[in-house]
Structure 1
Amino acid sequence: MTPAISIVMPCYNGARHLAQSVASVQAQTRGDWELIIVDDGSRDDSWQLMQALAAADPRIVPLQQTNAGAAAARNTGLAQARGRLLAFLDSDDTWHSEFLERMSAALAGREDEALAYCGWQNIGVGREDSQPFVPPEYQTPDKVETLLGGCRWPIHGAMVSLEAVRAAGCFDTGLSSCMDYDLWLRLGSRMTLVRVPEVLAFYHFHDGEQITKNRSRIAFNHLRAQRKFLAAHPDIAQRLGRRRVRALTSGELLHRGYVSYWKGDTETARSLFRAVMASGYGRPKDWLYMLPALLPLPLHRALLRAMRSGRAGKQQG
């Protein structure tokens, strides 16, 4: 029987967490799905594990490819998908047991014209105080501008039709991160966005290698996705105007630089600040923060230590 929902899961060295993620799919209150797991050239026991899982559950389809990245792995899965609806889940994340049921219900009657998104929560290493988060309403007259500022749901917090994703060109393999943001920009700008105001997706942080730990790579790929979209839609860029476009692009990069700066991630802040300065963006007080990024790293760190020491001395006095 043809499944109603296809779930695509890329997996690279994910043996440690794969069973938990698959279990969250098998626990769904809606069972008419297929789970396509794509082994992206793993060096651990991921392939053997997904074969064993597939032997125990015929709804699981294991595929294997030479390592090519998450975007390529997802595209491999998309090529084999058969369901009308589509969702994505990484091999170390999980869903609420009613994710498929709630999300598909939100799209009922408009499966081919709408994209549903839901709330999510970070859990795991270093995220003990993370609060559940439900993204705001995006389906407004300013939807495209808001999307350019960023899509505030993770890849496993959305559901859309398979044909819509295929028609949009699937995932851009030139992006090592933010490939989901790039896709949501392309889809969300022309489809109705349906908000499901419930926390149904869980992002698991752990002590292994995760793309989302690299703030610099994420920031620059986010910028590339923005520029790619604006280049493909010059009418939108013209309507927004140069000042607003710069605020959405260079301004977002500056914001991410500040976040890294205040978190003590000096190296990431330096790379982002340098890119912002190269674009000529920022107010005078922003440049006071950014200019030290032009110093050699040891001098920059020494300057920051001196500044913090000075502030601490003033507070004690």
Structure 2
Amino acid sequence: MISEETSEPVVSIIVPVYNLEAYVDRCLESVAGQTFGRFEAIVVDDGSCDGSWAAIQRHAAADARIVAVHKENQGVARARETALAHARGRYVCFLDGDDWWEPDMLERMVAAIEEEGDCDMVCCGYTRVSRTYRTAVPERNLGVMDGDVFLQSVVGHEIMPALWSKIYRRELFGESLCHYPMPMGQDLLLNLQIGCRVARVRTIDYVGYNYLQRAGSSIHRNKLTFDYCKKFAECVDDIFARNAGAVAPERAEFLSLVSGLWWYVGYISKSSNSWRGSDELAKKLHEMAPRYRKALRTIFSGKQLLLFRLDRWRALRPAVIALSTVFRWGESIKRRLAR
């Protein structure tokens, strides 16, 4: 049994697991092998049907810093809630059960947040990994930003909106934080709420998180539908309504527009999706966009904004499909050449 100052962990690591028998060993081995050892890893098995729970128990028996928790299947949002209720660390990190860390991940992240003593969170880069390639994705805007800039960076996907590849002060995850059980984007919704309450966020030039691309993951299983776009927009509006004192009304309107536009452009870019330009959400986005035309150009590409403008007319739906297909091919070729 490994003993490592388990009474006062500096970092609580939150690891949700569901049917990840083939991946969880590598994940937890990367945790146990960290050069920074003052942590607790709270691993929540969300009612797995495979051998995940047995694997988690093996790691917990070998390392006292790993805490195994089993619960009925309710989804990743509830699994994280369960883990956070057990957390004792000064800081919190998130790690998905099919991903893994570089050995110095915790050491670098703790050093970064403590070096800037008044920062509430730190973000680093990640590596996108598949069977055929590895691509490092570093954070682009290095340095320190305030909560308002972080909010725009998250809704515009300029900063990776996931909870992983970040370290947070634990007090940010208070009782007022709402865990929306959305099939996609629930990390973004949490980061939006955190952005409403943080003073300073730091991004560092370090790539320590390995993000596995696999066909069975939730992001690949769930299809982006128009109903999902509407539901997500309602969640964003609810967040800004509940944090009205933290974000000015006009600013909240702009950030809601950016969020809605991001998901809706993703929807219209898929050739299998039907035209929904006459729907209330689409009409609202088209109505609001001209008021923020200059600001939107700093967030969205010209290609994205062109598709959105053409979407206003049903007769141009074939043109939107053709252009989005060409754009996807171009991006795919660019990524392959960059490897």
- Give 1:6 deviation, angstroms: 1.0
Pick the aligned partner of 1:239 from 220, 232, 250.
250
Please state whether the residue corresponding to 1:250 is helix, strand or coil: helix
Q: Among all aligned residue pairs of Structure 1 and Structure 2, give the percentage whose two residues are the same amino acid.
A: 25
How big is the alpha-carbon RMSD for the aligned residues of Structure 1 and Structure 2? 3.5
- Give 1:190 deviation, angstroms: 2.8
Whether 1:202 and 2:207 are equivalent positions in the alignment is no
Q: What does 1:295-314 align with in structure 2 at a 5 Å threshold?
A: none
Equivalent pairs, count: 295
Partner of 1:149: 156
Please state whether the residue corresponding to 2:272 is helix, strand or coil: helix
Contact 1:40 1:67 in 2 (8 A): yes
Distance 1:210 1:144 in 2: 24
Distance 1:246 1:78 in 2: 28
- Give 1:103 deviation, angstroms: 0.6
Distance 1:285 1:266 in 2: 12
Pick the aligned partner of 2:91 from 66, 85, 89.
85
Q: Which moved more, 1:213-222 or 1:77-86?
A: 213-222
Partner of 1:257: 267
Q: What does 1:1-317 align with in structure 2 at a 5 Å threshold?
A: 1-108=7-114, 114-125=120-131, 128=133, 130-137=135-142, 139-140=145-146, 142-150=149-157, 151-166=159-174, 168-169=176-177, 172-191=179-198, 192-211=200-219, 213-214=221-222, 216=224, 222-234=232-244, 236-240=247-251, 242=253, 244-245=254-255, 247-257=257-267, 261=269, 265-268=270-273, 276-279=281-284, 281=286, 286=308, 288-289=310-311, 291-292=313-314
When normalised by structure 1's length, the TM-score is 0.78
Give ranges in structure 1 of 5+ residues lacking alignment.
309-317
Distance 2:98 2:252 in 1: 41
Distance 1:221 1:21 in 2: 32
Letter in 2 for 1:105: A
The structure whose residues are more often helix, as a share, is 1
- Give 1:54 deviation, angstroms: 1.1
When normalised by structure 2's length, the TM-score is 0.74
Distance 2:243 2:214 in 1: 38
Contact 2:229 2:264 in 1 (8 A): no
Please state whether the residue corresponding to 2:145 is helix, strand or coil: coil
Letter in 1 for 2:236: Q
Q: Which moved more, 1:154-163 or 1:21-30?
A: 154-163
Give ranges in structure 2 of 5+ residues lacking alignment.
1-6, 291-305, 326-339
Please state whether the residue corresponding to 1:105 is helix, strand or coil: helix
Residue deviations 1:135-161 (CA, integer Å, cap 9, x gap):
424605744433443442532211112
Contact 1:92 1:204 in 2 (8 A): yes
Contact 2:276 2:282 in 1 (8 A): no
Contact 1:86 1:160 in 2 (8 A): yes
Contact 1:4 1:83 in 2 (8 A): yes
